[in-house]
Amino acid sequence: MKCPFCNADDTNVIDSRVSEDGQKIRRRRRCQSCDKRFTTYETVELRLPQVVKHDGSRTEFDRNKLLTGFKRALHKRPVPTSYVDAAIDRIVQKYLSMGEREISSRSIGESVMQELHKLDQVAYIRFASVYKSFQDVDDFRNAINDVQKSEQ
């Protein structure tokens, strides 16, 4: 680790401590050259896969896009924020655990639909109508029938 004061390469770790939440390691360091001390933090960096859109373009996985989709579908619906956060966490964890470098946007959409189906049927229908590009009332009727069948 380079010293931020003199840019020397030779630094020693004086003290290491795990943060209260267990997610970071705090290290106190001392520069061998200028004798100044500084603190560094070590954290885990997990890379989510690239998202391959239907047109073949690629983009970074964006948790905020998931949240926006959920918010739109759940607008004025009685679903607690903690449930939405847990659903998004499940989706993110699913794709992290797969270990893939790329995933399709279709796969993400299907995961969102599964989670919305568990949370709120109206939100599920709203999302499905946009995601599946419903063209007429029959598409809505079929989706509602599918939801009712899955309840039984």
Q: Where residue 30 falls among pLDDT bands split at 50, 70, 90?
A: very high
Helix (H, G, I), strand (E, B), or coil: what is residue 126?
Answer: helix
The token pair that represents 33 in the structure block: 């050259």
Across 45-54, 95-104, 121-130, 143-152, least confident range: 143-152
| Domain containing residue 116 | 50-151
Q: What percent of the chain has pLDDT over 70?
A: 99
Structural domains in the chain (count): 2
Q: What is the pTM of this model?
A: 0.64
Task: Answer yes or no: is 4 within a domain.
Answer: no
Distance of alpha carbon 139 from alpha carbon 117, whole angstroms: 17
- Residue 65 sits in the same domain as residue 136: yes
Element (H, E) at 17: strand 11-18
Residues 96 and 144 in one domain: yes
Q: Are residues 18 and 79 in the same domain?
A: no
Least Cα distance to 74 among 122, 143, 108, 114 occurs for: 122
Clarify whether residues 59 and 132 are in a common domain: yes
Q: CB–CB of 32/12 below 8 Å? A: yes
pLDDT digits (tens, 9 = 90+) for 10-26: 999 999 999 888 889 99
Same domain for 72 and 30? no
Cβ 120 vs Cβ 146: under 8 Å: no
Do 27 and 96 lie in one domain? The reply is no
